[in-house]
């Protein structure tokens, strides 16, 4: 039988006040297999750890149980101590008698009995412990950032600055994301493009960043440290290497069409660059609208191009890249107005969403910053802003708060009032959520200095009457029905994950929630890690958030990547699943159950009795496996076992508890 040592910690009074630690260690001395048992004031202190080390060496212990606080606190401390004393760290188990006995009970006798029982069951577990060794996994020090908005750019710049190569993939032809479309930013009212342009420019010229715009990630295989991804580069029909960005083609192109970048508020040409500060500042031909593609004639762009860089025959390219980590920064979209029946379902030209307002308020936008309404270009005398359009609405299936609307609506109203001094700005709100540095003051400024009218209540309907928009709502504070005739209605529509986020999640094998936002590994402690090791999250891909928060999270994700890249190898936790090939029947029920896609079939030769058999079994990719244990639960014959938490260990623990 193994020689096991038991150390019971007082944790000062934390444990010893409710658990009779001396009695516990005394009783454990007589337990079969226990060679040494003692108690100590603070085992986590240096002398405490020294005691453990010395006892292991002196008594040649083969396993130890530390009865102390939660393993989350000091498991690694005690494992390190054991390792220093020459004992495999995975032969150390913690019994949590602080949270599970001392703190949750008041009766000392009962708590002591429970603590003793728990320690005994851990002793049984340790009896079945095995030496486990971490594995070294090779690492490709290159990161893939998906999304070229403010979060993706932040990650790219941070990692690139640390000296590692970055591939930045953006589905639009230019980087900048949603932030590039904004007019001013709250709460400082500085111009969005003024603070963004230096960033985009830096990304564009950084030697460590490979920019792949107009591209999408279509496949990802491998595991953390060693992913292989395929990126689809859609054709631009312009040789960007040759192009000098003179934009003569855009000027001369005869075909005008609605601009996506302007969200329908402005026009662009069939060959165009989205906006003057775009990075890369290179035009792209829209196959859908281009006259040549439709009729085979025109080619005006070809004629005017001084460097001969138009390539109508360009085709999409698939590029394969080996990378070590992935950061998902796929951003957000806004809930389409068409889904909001009560606000006209998108049929009124003068009911617009927040992003459309941003465009008409932007100095570089289609109206050059003059707030005109889309229908007739008149300057509106009365604007109604409706908050929570789709958000916090169970019926619309989006019960969550979109977080940024309170602030940007206040900003919109303020921008309007600064331009149209006699205009009336009314905001319908449910609650004002202005948590953030300077946010509450900003809202107060809108109310007090700029006389924006805040009405608490939901708008029941927006409709047209005699050519004017009528907003019908209730002021819940006065209890009165409110009817406002408006020239323009701005809906703060819900923030939703960018279109295609769910599909991207499937490609990357990263889970998304009901709405399509990416799931973090832990809501509090691992907000930038995804459930898949080596894939990190940044910005609105994970949840709605504003710019400063996005930038902090992106910086956090970058730090995670840099930490990962700071080592020459990755070390995998040996507490992963293990297959007993003798028993495994090869049914592979475990394969679809594995959340990390770590299980694949393999054909092996197994000796059974006196003959060798060739057959299919499951194998574990130790790099991908996170040790969650789902497979070991699903395995009927118990062939799948989680090292460090084997069926045998758990069973022994249980048996000792069910005496």
Partner 1 sequence: MDKLLRSNVSRLLKKLSEHAEIYAPTMEDGVCVLSKLVNNYDDWTLDYVRTTNSVKDIFFPQNEEIMRYKNANNDLNIEPPKPFKERVAFGVRPCDAAAMLLLDNVFLEGEFYDSYYKERREKGALITIACEKPDQYCFCTSFHSSPGATEGSDIVLYPADDYFLVVAVTDKGKKLIKANAEIFENATEKSGIVENYKSMKTPIGNNCSPGELNEKLKNEFDNPYWKKIARRCLGCGNCTFVCPTCHCFAVCDVARGCDGKRTRTWDSCKFQDFFLMAGDHNPRPTQVERTRQRFMHKLNYFKEKYDKYQCVGCGRCVEKCPVGVHIADVITHMKEEL
Partner 2 sequence: MMNMTEKMLEQIRDLFEKKNIKLFIGFEKGFEKFSRIPAFAENYDEAKSMIIDEFETPLLAKYLIRELGEVGAGAVEKSERVGILTRGCDYLSIRRLVVDNIILRENLVIIGIPCNGLIDPKKANKLLGEEAQEITVDEKIVLAKGEIKSREINKEEILLDRCKKCIMSKVEESDILLEENMDDMEVSKDYSAVEEIEKLTTEERYEFWRRQFDRCIRCFACRDACTACNCRKCIFDITEPEMLEKTVATSEQFMFHFIRAFHVAGRCTACGECEKVCPVDIPLGLLNGKFKKDIELLFDVDEAGIPAEIEPLGEFKLDDPVEW
Q: Tell me the torsion sign for CA atoms 636, 124, 10, 48.
A: negative
Name residues whose C-beta falls within 8 Å of residue 194's C-beta, 6 or more positions apart in sequence.
none
Nearer to partner 2, 246 or 654 (CB): 654
Nearer to partner 2, 120 or 255 (CB): 120
Nearer to partner 1, 28 or 504 (CB): 28
Nearer to partner 2, 59 or 519 (CB): 519
Please choose, from the candidates 574, 384, 604, 570, the residue with its C-alpha nearest in 3D space to the C-alpha of residue 475: 384
Instruction: Return the residues of window 594-623 that contact partner 1 according to CB under 8 A.
Output: 609
Nearer to partner 2, 474 or 587 (CB): 587
Binder of residue 647, out of partner 1, partner 2, none (CB less than 5 to 8 A by kind): partner 2
Contact stretch for partner 1 (CB under 8 A) within 30-38, 50-58, 315-323, 531-539: 30-38
Question: Which residue from 513, 546, 549, 573 is in contact with partner 2, where contact means CB under 8 A?
Answer: 513
Contact 251, 208 (CB under 8 A): no
Nearer to partner 1, 30 or 568 (CB): 30
Binder of residue 511, out of partner 2, partner 1, none (CB less than 5 to 8 A by kind): partner 2
Interface with partner 2, residue 470, by CB under 8 A: no
Nearer to partner 2, 345 or 580 (CB): 580
Binder of residue 132, out of partner 2, partner 1, none (CB less than 5 to 8 A by kind): none
Contact 93, 575 (CB under 8 A): no
The dihedral over CA atoms of 284, 286, 292, 298, expressed in degrees to the nearest 10, equals: -60
Binder of residue 399, out of partner 2, partner 1, none (CB less than 5 to 8 A by kind): none
Name residues whose C-beta falls within 8 Å of residue 605's C-beta, 6 or more positions apart in sequence.
612, 613, 614
Q: Classify burial at 206, counting beta carbons within 10 Å of its beta carbon; exposed 0-12, middle 13-18, buried 19 or more.
A: middle
Binder of residue 30, out of partner 2, partner 1, none (CB less than 5 to 8 A by kind): partner 1
Instruction: Return the residues of window 385-424 that contact partner 2 according to CB under 8 A.
Output: none
Contact 578, 642 (CB under 8 A): yes
Interface with partner 1, residue 32, by CB under 8 A: yes
Min dist CB 120 to partner 1, Å, is 6
Min dist CB 584 to partner 1, Å, is 17
Query: Token pair of 296, please?
Result: 């085979």
Instruction: Return the residues of window 556-595 that contact partner 2 according to CB under 8 A.
Output: 582-589, 592-595
Query: Token pair of 145, please?
Result: 């950032």
Interface with partner 1, residue 124, by CB under 8 A: yes
Name residues whose C-beta falls within 8 Å of residue 448's C-beta, 6 or more positions apart in sequence.
none
Residue 551's H or E segment, with its range, is helix 547-565
Interface with partner 2, residue 288, by CB under 8 A: no
Please choose, from the candidates 330, 331, 352, 328, the residue with its C-alpha nearest in 3D space to the C-alpha of residue 340: 352
Query: What is the C-alpha separation between 188 and 200, in angstroms, rounded?
Result: 21
Interface with partner 2, residue 629, by CB under 8 A: no
Question: Which residue from 207, 394, 395, 514 is in contact with partner 2, where contact means CB under 8 A?
Answer: 514
Contact 481, 454 (CB under 8 A): no
Q: Which residues bind partner 1 (CB under 8 A)?
A: 30-32, 120, 124, 609, 655-656, 658-659
């Amino acid at each position: 039988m193994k020689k096991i040592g038991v150390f019971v910690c007082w944790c000062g009074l934390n444990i010893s006040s409710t658990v009779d630690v001396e009695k516990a260690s005394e009783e454990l001395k007589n337990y079969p297999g226990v060679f040494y048992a003692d108690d100590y004031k603070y085992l986590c202190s240096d002398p405490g750890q020294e005691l453990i080390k010395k006892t292991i060496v002196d008594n040649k212990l083969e396993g130890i149980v530390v009865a102390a606080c939660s393993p989350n606190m000091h498991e690694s401390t005690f494992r390190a101590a054991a390792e220093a004393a020459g004992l495999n760290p995975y032969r150390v188990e913690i019994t949590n008698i602080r949270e599970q006995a001392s703190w949750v009970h008041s009766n000392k006798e009962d708590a002591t009995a429970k603590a003793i029982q728990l320690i005994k069951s851990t002793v049984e577990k340790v009896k079945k412990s095995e030496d486990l060794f971490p594995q070294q996994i090779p690492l490709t020090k290159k990161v893939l950032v998906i999304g070229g908005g403010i979060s993706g750019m932040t990650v790219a710049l941070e990692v690139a600055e640390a000296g590692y190569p970055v591939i930045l993939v953006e589905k639009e032809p230019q980087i900048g994301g949603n932030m590039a479309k904004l007019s001013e930013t709250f709460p400082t009212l500085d111009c969005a493009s003024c603070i963004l342009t230096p960033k985009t420019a830096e990304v564009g010229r950084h030697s460590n960043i490979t920019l792949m715009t107009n591209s999408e990630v279509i496949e990802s295989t491998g595991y953390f440290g060693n992913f292989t991804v395929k990126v689809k580069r859609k054709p631009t029909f312009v040789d960007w290497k040759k192009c000098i960005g003179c934009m003569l083609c855009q000027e001369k192109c005869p075909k005008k069409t609605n601009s996506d970048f302007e969200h329908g508020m402005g026009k662009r040409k069939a060959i165009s660059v989205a906006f003057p500060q775009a990075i890369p500042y290179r035009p792209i031909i829209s196959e859908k609208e281009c006259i040549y593609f439709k009729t085979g004639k025109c080619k005006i762009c070809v004629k005017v191009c001084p460097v001969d860089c138009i390539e109508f025959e360009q085709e999409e390219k698939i590029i394969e890249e080996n990378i070590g980590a992935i950061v998902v920064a796929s951003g957000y979209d806004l809930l389409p107005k068409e889904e909001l029946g009560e606000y006209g379902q998108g049929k009124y030209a003068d009911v617009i969403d927040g992003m459309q307002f941003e465009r008409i308020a932007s100095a570089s936008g289609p109206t050059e910053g003059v707030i005109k309404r889309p229908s007739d270009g008149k300057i509106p005398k009365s604007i109604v802003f409706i908050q929570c359009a789709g958000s916090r609405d169970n019926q619309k299936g989006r019960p969550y708060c979109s977080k940024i609307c309170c602030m940007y609506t206040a900003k919109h109203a303020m921008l309007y009032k600064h331009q149209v001094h006699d205009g009336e700005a009314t905001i319908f709100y449910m609650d004002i959520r202005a948590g953030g540095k300077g946010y509450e003051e900003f809202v107060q400024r809108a109310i007090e200095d700029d006389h924006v009218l805040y009405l608490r209540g939901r708008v029941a309907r927006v409709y047209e009457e005699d050519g004017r928009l009528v907003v019908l709502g209730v002021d819940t504070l006065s209890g009165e029905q409110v009817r406002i005739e408006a020239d323009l209605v701005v809906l703060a529509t819900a923030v939703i994950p960018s279109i295609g986020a769910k599909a991207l999640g499937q490609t990357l094998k990263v889970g998304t929630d009901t709405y399509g936002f990416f799931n973090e590994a832990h809501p509090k402690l691992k907000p930038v890690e995804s459930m898949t090791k080596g894939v990190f999250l940044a910005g609105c891909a994970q949840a709605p958030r504003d710019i400063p928060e996005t930038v902090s999270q992106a910086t956090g994700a970058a730090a995670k990547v840099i930490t990962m890249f700071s080592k020459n190898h990755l070390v995998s936790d040996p507490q992963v699943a293990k297959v007993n090939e003798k028993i495994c029947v090869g049914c592979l029920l475990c394969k679809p159950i594995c959340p990390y896609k770590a299980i694949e079939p393999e054909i092996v030769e197994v000796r059974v009795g006196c003959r060798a058999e060739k057959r299919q079994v499951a194998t574990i990719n130790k790099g991908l496996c996170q040790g969650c244990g789902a497979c070991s639960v699903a395995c009927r014959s118990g062939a799948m076992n989680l090292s460090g938490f084997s069926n045998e260990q758990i069973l022994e623990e249980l048996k000792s508890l069910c005496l």
